[in-house]
């Protein structure tokens, strides 16, 4: 049996997950592109719920790139200290804001290369910002997407970038962004890292890992 699903099976997986998680979507709270970028940067190795707790005060005190560019690291650290890697994230937020203020008139660019040139912005963050903020079809591979995609058989790689490329090949472009959210929700609610709940999995009849275990 091939480790990869075919295109028909991949679409079936999306359809089943769509029915299982109709509420799937971006869980971060934001009002504009700048807030979205900051929230995504803060969400690395931290839950969206934790980020949503701190961003109201963060954006009240620093509502745009010009304000945050002038911030002292200690001031940001005081606001975001409850999340992981808060010292590095504080520095990155300030440096990113300075770049926006100096090079982009304070506006978040809707271009992948420009985004990944900003301090603290990697491929995953750029893809989320483009998808959620600019409506560009993208697949952002976080830990949930990476794990679930490779377990199910939508991808077969131990590398994040290769997993992203395989997902882009097997899924129709118009379903990339929605598919990304569905895989995240499935990873959080059922296909967890240590103990996946295969018994109630909506795609267990297709999932390559589940079928292998059964044999």
d(CA 55, CA 38): 9
d(CA 71, CA 93): 9
* Residue 70 a catalytic site member: no
- Largest Cα separation within the chain, whole Å, is 60
* Overall size of the chain counted in residues: 215
Cβ atoms 204, 148 nearer than 8 A:
no
Q: Which of 89, 124, 138, 204 is catalytic?
A: 124
Dihedral-angle region of residue 153 (phi above 0 means left; psi in -120 to 50 means alpha; beta otherwise):
left
* Residue 165 a catalytic site member: no
Q: Which of 89, 138, 142, 204 is catalytic?
A: 142
Residue 151 contacts by C-beta under 8 Å, 6 or more apart in sequence? 191, 196, 207, 208, 209
d(CA 173, CA 170): 9
Q: How far is CA 61 from CA 4, 22, 68, 70, 76, in A?
A: 48, 35, 8, 11, 9
What are φ and ψ of residue 96, in 5° steps?
A: -60, -45
Catalytic residue IDs: 124, 142
């Amino acid at each position: 049996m091939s480790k990869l699903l075919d295109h028909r099976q991949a679409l079936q997986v999306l359809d089943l997950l769509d029915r299982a998680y109709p509420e799937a979507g971006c869980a971060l709270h934001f009002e504009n592109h700048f807030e979205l970028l900051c929230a995504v940067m803060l969400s690395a190795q931290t839950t969206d719920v934790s980020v949503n707790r701190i961003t109201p005060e963060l954006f009240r005190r620093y509502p745009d790139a010009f304000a945050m560019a002038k911030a002292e690291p200690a001031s940001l650290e005081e606001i975001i200290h409850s999340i992981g890697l808060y010292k590095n994230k504080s520095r990155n937020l300030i440096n990113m804001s300075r770049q926006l203020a100096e090079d982009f008139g304070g506006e978040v660019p809707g271009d992948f290369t420009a985004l990944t040139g900003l301090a603290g912005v990697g491929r995953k963050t750029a893809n989320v910002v483009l998808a959620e903020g600019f409506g560009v079809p993208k697949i952002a591979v976080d830990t949930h997407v990476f794990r679930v995609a490779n377990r199910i058989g939508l991808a077969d790689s131990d590398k994040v970038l290769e997993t992203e490329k395989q997902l882009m090949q097997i899924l129709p472009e118009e379903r990339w962004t929605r598919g990304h959210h569905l895989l995240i929700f499935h990873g959080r609610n059922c296909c967890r890292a240590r103990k996946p709940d295969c018994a109630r999995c909506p795609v267990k009849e297709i999932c390559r890992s589940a079928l292998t275990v059964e044999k």
